[in-house]
Amino acid sequence: MPGLRQIWNRRDFVRIGSLGVFGLNLVDYFRLSAAGPGKDRSCILIWLSGGPPHQDLWDLKPEAPAEFRGIYKPIPTNVPGIQIGELLPHTAKVADKFTIIRSMTGREGQHEQAMTHMLTGYRPLATLSYPAMGAVVAKEKGSQDGLPPYIAIPDSGYAYGPGFLGASFGPFAAGDPNVGNYQVRDLRLPSDVDWAEISDRRFLVRKMDAVFEQDPLLRYADTGKQFPALDEAYQKAISLMTSAKAKKAFAISEEPERVRERYGRTPMGQGCLLARRLIEAGTRFVTVSTGFNQWDTHQNNFNRLRDQLVPPFDRAFAALLADLAERGMLESTLVIATGEFGRTPKVNANAGRDHWAKLWSCAIAGAGVPGGQVYGSSDATASEVKDRPVTVEDFTATVYERLGIDYHKEYQTPIGRPVRLSAGQHIRFS
């Protein structure tokens, strides 16, 4: 059928002629609906992949036997009565700005399964891929001021994806802002392409659209109306490339040197700083991480925490909360620091801690979450929840509730299966 051949040739033309310039993901990001109803809040998720040890950071047990408590001591924070680990001196100074949840509990003890559970609110299934929270936020709130609504720093990780929602709601990979001469892909034209060429390409697409509209066979074949949607996506991609605000949001080099040093010249520090810039410019959900399973301390736990893992996080997390508060953004920005599970209460023979899904801690701030509090508690060895358990499902429900999204809402999968955004209940902070 010549008409159908024309359709696929046209699609190939658009793909071949434009993907090298725009990138497939960038186009997909702009097939989004307008911003949904609800509170105008955004989220920064500091994803500590691998599972940080709660016993050494947020929930120390100095009276427990040595094989449980480890080597680090608790220190006071700026909130009377709340103590955290000595490796978090900067964070201790901003404890009035966040709540520690010491009663997180899950059911998945392997990384991939636990990551899926934590980031989507659902345990993994072989027959269905659930969307990550960032993808749901992108769908519900849409893009704002031309920026991608869901951004991953430096790139997309395990279980970050949009699941059954489709690729257009996946995260845009921003790269590592700590590298020299940092630039984001897709915001600049390649050196061998100019705007005249882009304009000509768009002119050709419009001409081909006119033929498409006049040909009944073509019009009949495109029952999904994919071509107009694709062309709109390219128009929005071009708008992003020409947007001064988008380029400015990614231009972390414009930050004063004192601000960059405040966050720390590390991937975590500059990642959190870029996240603040993106949220300020209109992005809805930003995930910041520094590597898959980086916090998986089966061996040499205590030295790795002290020498590699905790100092960059401590500086960045404290700077982010203080910076958001100073700019009047903390009330409208939910900030979370967590991994997919905790670590074993008892130190193993390799001076490490292993996977522990029964209990862990996370820090949560902003978006109306009261600061200077501890929610829930653990037993004497930080092994199990003592009171006020928070399930993974409750956690995702809380994220949606704080962002003004109805977590009781149901989506339909491509085969018509109803899926509620969260099967939990949101935390009612005092």
pLDDT tens string 115-156: 999 999 999 999 999 999 999 999 999 988 789 999 999 999
For the chain, residues with pLDDT lower than 70 are 1-39, 186-243
- The domain limits of the chain are 1-39+117-128+135-261+286-293+403-422
pLDDT recorded at residue 132: 98
Ramachandran bin of 102, using left for φ above 0, alpha for ψ from -120 to 50, beta for the remaining angles: alpha
Query: Whole-prediction pTM value?
Result: 0.84
Q: Where are the beta strands (DSSP E) in 36-191?
A: 42-47, 74-76, 83-85, 98-105, 150-153, 172-173
Q: What are phi and psi of 114, to 5 degrees?
A: -70, -35
Q: Identity (one letter) of the amino acid at 287?
A: T
Structure tokens at 40: 């105008």
Q: Which pLDDT value is given to residue 241?
A: 62
Strands 98-105 and 373-375: parallel
Specify the pLDDT at position 229. Answer: 43
The pLDDT of residue 207: 59
